[in-house]
């Protein structure tokens, strides 16, 4: 069966520090991968998605970037964090005719 | 462009009472619709999905939703609320533009269940 792993679960980082969040999917190949951010009272906002290795689409202009170095690995990064980057980050995957499956999320607090 | 609107950011019911969470969608093509549930500090879990088959969709934990094209609605119901149903619920529509698999989410509804 397919599983999705996301880490770390929580992270506290100072303003201006770098960020790297990792997500991996097991038990499938060539999934579509997604990074969502959830801010309090604002629902889920799609940040990036990828339909293949090295293919990244950005949905909103921001201080973050994403990369997909391997088929089942999706990384969210920042060179310098802002206070506004705080939130709950969710990785997800899907394939044709399957619903979106989410990881357990990373709670990022920028101080 | 497709969109989803969830009416009511907070809904409070008594244990044993009917749960009704409202979702209206906007789509120029037949939509694929979903309901997800999120417990505190966890990811989203799929409750049910509508993919143009039966209009009444049954999901996990006793939830069901009815697709009504004339009302552009996909409301989530459960006959009798349990304390364990307290969570945040999201309605979503699948983006029909390209084969991206993206979901467009509503703002979410927090369900409170009172003893």
pLDDT above 80: residue A40: no
> How high is the pLDDT of residue A34?
96
Per residue in B6-51, pLDDT (tens digit) is 999 999 999 999 999 999 999 888 889 999 999 988 899 999 999 8
A10, A99, A104: best mutation site toward chain B, by most B Cβ within 10 Å? A99
Contact by Cβ (8 Å): B94, B103: yes
CA–CA distance, B94 with A19 (Å, rounded to integer): 30
Q: What are the start-end ranges of the H helices in chain A?
A: none
Whether residues A105 and B43 touch (CB distance < 8 A) is answered with yes
Cα–Cα nearest to B77, from B38, B115, B26, B35: B35
Q: Return the pLDDT at B101.
A: 85
Q: Is A85 helix (H, G, I), strand (E, B) or coil?
A: helix
Report the C-alpha gap between A28 and A47 in whole angstroms: 23
What is the least distance, in Å, from the CA of B70 to any CA of chain A?
A: 25
Angle formed at CA A94 by CA B107 and CA B100, multiple of 5 degrees = 75
Least confident residue range of A8-17, A96-105, B76-85, B86-95: A96-105
Query: Which tokens sit at B35?
Result: 């309901």
List, for residues A42-59, the tens digit of each pLDDT value.
789 999 999 999 999 998
What pLDDT is stored for residue B27 in this prediction? 87
For range A1-10, the mean pLDDT: 92
Nearest residue to B81 via CA among B16, B37, B25, B23: B16
The rounded distance, in Å, linking the Cα atoms of A33 and A71 is 9
For residue A39, the chain B residue with the least C-alpha distance is: B107
A55: chain B residues, CB-CB within 8 Å: none
Q: What percent of chain A has pLDDT over 90?
A: 84
Tell me if chain B has a CB within 8 Å of the CB of A40. no
Contact B56, B68 (CB under 8 A): no
- Who has greater pLDDT, A79 or B1? A79
| pLDDT at res. A11 | 96
How far, in Å, CA of A74 to CA of A6, rounded? 10
DSSP labels, B57-105: EE-GGG-EEEEETTTTEEEEEESS--GGG-EEEEEEEE--SSS---EEE
Instruction: List pLDDT tens digits, range B52-110.
Output: 778 999 999 999 999 999 999 999 999 999 999 999 999 999 988 777 888 999 999 99
Cβ of residue B103 closer than 8 Å to a chain A Cβ: yes
């Amino acid at each position: 069966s397919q599983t999705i792993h996301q880490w770390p679960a929580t992270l506290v980082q100072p303003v201006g520090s770098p960020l790297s969040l990792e997500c991996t999917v097991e038990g499938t190949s060539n999934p579509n991968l997604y990074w969502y951010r959830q801010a309090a009272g604002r629902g889920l906002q799609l940040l990036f998605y990828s339909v293949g290795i090295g293919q990244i689409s950005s949905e909103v202009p921001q201080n973050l970037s994403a990369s997909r170095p391997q088929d089942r690995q999706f990384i969210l990064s920042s060179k310098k964090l802002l206070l506004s980057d705080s939130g709950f980050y969710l990785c997800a995957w899907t394939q044709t005719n399957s619903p979106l499956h989410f990881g357990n999320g990373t709670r990022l607090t920028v101080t | 462009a497709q969109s989803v609107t969830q009416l009511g950011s907070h809904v409070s019911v008594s244990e044993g009472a009917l749960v009704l969470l409202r979702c209206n969608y906007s789509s120029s093509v037949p939509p694929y619709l979903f309901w997800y549930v999120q417990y505190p500090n966890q990811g989203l879990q799929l409750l049910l999905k509508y993919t143009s088959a039966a209009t009444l969709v049954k999901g996990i934990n006793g939830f069901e939703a009815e697709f009504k094209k004339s009302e552009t609605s996909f409301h989530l119901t459960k006959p009798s609320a349990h304390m364990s149903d307290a969570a945040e619920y999201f309605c979503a529509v699948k983006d029909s533009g390209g084969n991206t698999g993206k979901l467009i989410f509503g703002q979410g509804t927090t369900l409170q269940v009172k003893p």
